[in-house]
Amino acid sequence: MNSKLFRGSLDTIIIKLLSENEAMYGYEITQKVKEMTEEQFKITEGALYPALHRLEAKGLLDTETKHIGNRYRKYYKLTEKGEKEVSTMLSDMAQFIQGLQLVFKTQPIKS
């Protein structure tokens, strides 16, 4: 897919996943999104890690590092502040999707 379209949605995707999962690490997020979208959204590390760091710097995410054997994983979870912003971000996204549907008159998926 043309990944240019994807621009601007990454933060909201991360926040959405973390609102449904207690804690996730970066690589897990990329795999989960790939799986959910049937291979359509492929998040690159160059986009993901800076995004996670930005969200952390904004105070929306906290981290916890865990050692698995000789390696480490950095788990991210929503802060209280992050939790509070979830509903706004999701309704902005819902509006955005609806706007795109209005412009492009796509057939919605069956729910």
Q: Which residues bind a copy of itself (CB under 8 A)?
A: 1-2, 4-9, 11-13, 16, 33, 36-38, 40-41, 89-90, 92-109, 111
CA distance linking residue 11 with residue 101, whole number of Å = 21
Q: Which does 37 bind (CB under 5 to 8 A by kind): a copy of itself, DNA, none?
A: a copy of itself
Cβ nearer to DNA, comparing 50 with 84:
50
CA distance linking residue 110 with residue 51, whole number of Å = 31
For residue 75, the minimal CB distance to DNA (Å) is 7
Cβ nearer to DNA, comparing 47 with 93:
47
For residue 12, the minimal CB distance to a copy of itself (Å) is 7
Cβ nearer to DNA, comparing 46 with 108:
46
Contact positions toward DNA, by CB under 7 A? 3-4, 6-11, 25-28, 31, 44-47, 49-54, 68-74
- Three-state SS for 57-104 is HCCCEEEEEEEECCEEEEEEEECHHHHHHHHHHHHHHHHHHHHHHHHH
Q: How many residues does the chain have?
A: 111
Give the contacts of 36 (CB within 8 A, at least 6 positions apart).
Answer: none
